[in-house]
Amino acid sequence: MRCERYEQDLTVGAAGGAIGPDLEAHLEGCAACRERLAEKQALLGRIEQVLTLQLDVEPSAGLRRRVIARVVEVEKARRRMARLGAAAALAAGLAMVLLAGGLAHRSPETSSERRATATGPNVPAAGAMKAERVAPVPSVPTAGAALTPHVVRRRSPPAGARPAAAPEPEVLVPPGQEEALRRFAASLREDAGTPRPLLRATATVESPVAPPPLIEIPVLASEPLSDPADPLERSKS
């Protein structure tokens, strides 16, 4: 007959836990409990034997080589992706720079939308002028003229002309400078390699524009309009 109340203590003892004095004393007088304790210890041994046997297993042949191959494969793929990612990031950065540069040449249209289109025989072919040569015309304000710039848009290229490789930028032209722009565009068409300054139509790189003459400010003879010390003058004010 088993002593049920000692069952848990027997389990503790079989598992390697401490056997209390109560159980120890009981075991001295109870063969059944001694047998039960031995059964539990044997059971534990059998459990561990099963585990040891099951886990004493060798991997399939070539596992080490396959492991190394897997490491190499994964690392090469990771580095390849890293390089692609870096290239994509660089391309995105360049695209942002170009976009920012393009946006910097744009301006919002005014409500009046004064547009000066470059028409006439001086209009270059769409494919002849490069977008980057159409720089903003320097501001040379005329007396009394408003300084509000307006947008110059080129007309669509005539039929049969080569299509532009890139969208043409809008050019800011101060009022009164449309003619200067036309002359500048004409100069580019004549000599695409050397842009000419815009200050004078006849100016060239070899003959730079002469500096403007100094404006002489005459020295005025300064005479007081009235003598503050003159009592007569004081009384008048």
Partner 1 sequence: MNEAAAPLTGHLVSDASLDREFEERLAAASTLAFRVAYGVLRQREDAEDVAQEAAVRAYRGFTSLRNRDQFRSWLVRIAWRLALDRRKSERRRGVRELKASVAPTKSPSAEEIAAGRQTEERVWEAVDGLPEKLRIVVVLSAIEGHGMREVAALLGLAEGTVKSRLYEARRRLLERLPCVVSGTSRT
Neighbours of 27 (CB within 10 A): 20
Q: Please give the size of the binding site for partner 1, defined by CB under 8 A.
A: 40
Q: Closer to partner 1 by CB, 17 or 208: give it.
A: 17
- What separation, in Å, do the N-terminal and C-terminal C-alpha atoms of the chain show? 139
Tell me the residue length of the chain: 237
Binding partner 1 (rule: CB under 8 A), the pick from 63, 88, 199, 209 is 63
Neighbours of 102 (CB within 10 A): 13
Q: How far apart are CA 186 and CA 201, in angstroms?
A: 10
Q: Minimum distance from CB of 52 to partner 1 (Å)?
A: 5
Closest among 100, 97, 109, 99 to 172, alpha carbons compared: 109
From 41-49, 93-101, 184-192, 203-211, give the range in contact with partner 1 by CB under 8 A.
41-49
Q: Minimum distance from CB of 106 to partner 1 (Å)?
A: 47
Q: Minimum distance from CB of 29 to partner 1 (Å)?
A: 24
Per-residue interface string for the shown chain with partner 1, residues 187-226, x marking contact by CB under 8 A: ----------------------------------------
Residue 151 pairs in a beta bridge with 115, 172
- What letter represents residue 95's amino acid? A
From 13-21, 136-144, 159-167, 177-185, give the range in contact with partner 1 by CB under 8 A.
13-21
From 6-14, 102-110, 127-135, 157-165, give the range in contact with partner 1 by CB under 8 A.
6-14
Binding partner 1 (rule: CB under 8 A), the pick from 76, 115, 133, 162 is 76
Beta carbons of 13 and 23 less than 8 angstroms apart: yes
Q: Minimum distance from CB of 78 to partner 1 (Å)?
A: 8
Point out which residues bind partner 1 (CB under 8 A): 11-12, 14-17, 40, 43-44, 46-60, 62-76, 79
